[in-house]
Structure 1
Amino acid sequence: MKINWGTGIVLAFIGFITFILYFVFRMSTDDRANHDLVTEDYYKKELTYQQNLDASNTARDMDAVLRIEKSSEGVTIFFPEQFDPQKISGRVSLYRPSNKRLDTDFPISLSKTHLLIPDNSLVGGRWDITVDWQYEGNTFFHKQKLVY
């Protein structure tokens, strides 16, 4: 049986379309690929964006910039030493872009000027650390990317 060039082009298109559909189906049903949204409350977080910018500027203006360091014990967040640690309150959010099941939030409770996040609660890789904290009526915001 002899195939002319028109039939060959049609068969090539059908083969290409089948190839593309196979990969679309395969990637949409694969359990190893994670297709989650970045965050669940995306629009709600976007509404607070200007407030976060204002809080970051307040922290810079009042010399209340945080320092985040990694060590063998975990990640340590150093708060400004001129502030009384007992009066600092707020929330620390650990966001893992590659796996939302590893995301955690916890309240800030200090007895010293630093907060230690233990090594056993962190998996190696990239983390986005967000610290939203208050001191004597002022709100401060710090966001940093960290590769652990």
Structure 2
Amino acid sequence: MKLNWGTGIVLAFIVFISFIMYFIITMNVNDKYDHDLVTEDYYGEELVYQNDIEKLKNSKKLTENIGYEKTAEGLKIVFPKNLEYKKITGKVFLYRPSNKQLDFESIISLSNPYLLIPNNRLVDGRWNIKIDWQYNGISYLYKKSINY
């Protein structure tokens, strides 16, 4: 059988379309390629982002900011020592970029100048931590990407 230009072009189109169909089906079926948005209400979050900017500015004005350390018990979030820790309120949100089911939020209720997140709540890998906290009526925000 002789291969002419018309047959070659049709075969090239068939191979190209087959590759594209394979690619589309693989991306839709394989869980390895399943990624979620950072937040479900993306546009609603964007509208209140100016508040976050103000809270971040307040955090930069502090003489000492929040710190963290990995201990045998878990992740220890240490609040500034010059503040009275019993007056600190707010929320801690830990976001796992690779698995939405591991995300969790915790309310800040301190009996020590630090907050301990136990090891059983955290899986090794990358976490985005967001601490939205208040002290004496002023709101602060701490954001950090950590490897646990």
TM-score for both structures, normalised by structure 1:
0.93
Measured after TM superposition, the shift of residue 44 of structure 1 is: 1.9
RMSD in angstroms over aligned alpha carbons? 1.3
Measured after TM superposition, the shift of residue 15 of structure 1 is: 1.1
| Partner in structure 2 of residue 72 of structure 1 | 72
Measured after TM superposition, the shift of residue 65 of structure 1 is: 1.1
Measured after TM superposition, the shift of residue 62 of structure 1 is: 3.1
Q: Is the 8 A contact 2:35 2:98 kept in 1?
A: no
Task: Indicate whether 1:120 and 2:120 are aligned.
Answer: yes
In structure 2, C-alpha distance between the alignment counterparts of 1:60 and 1:33, rounded to whole Å: 38
Q: Which runs of 5+ in 1 are unaligned?
A: none
Measured after TM superposition, the shift of residue 64 of structure 1 is: 4.7
In structure 2, C-alpha distance between the alignment counterparts of 1:64 and 1:135, rounded to whole Å: 14
Change (3 A) 1:37 1:80: same
In structure 2, C-alpha distance between the alignment counterparts of 1:63 and 1:41, rounded to whole Å: 34
Map 1:29-108 onto structure 2 (within 5 A).
Answer: 29-108=29-108
| Partner in structure 2 of residue 144 of structure 1 | 144
Moved over 3 A (4+): none
Q: Which runs of 5+ in 2 are unaligned?
A: none
In structure 1, C-alpha distance between the alignment counterparts of 2:65 and 2:35, rounded to whole Å: 35
Moved more, 69-78 or 106-115: 69-78
Change (3 A) 1:88 1:79: same
In structure 2, C-alpha distance between the alignment counterparts of 1:35 and 1:133, rounded to whole Å: 29
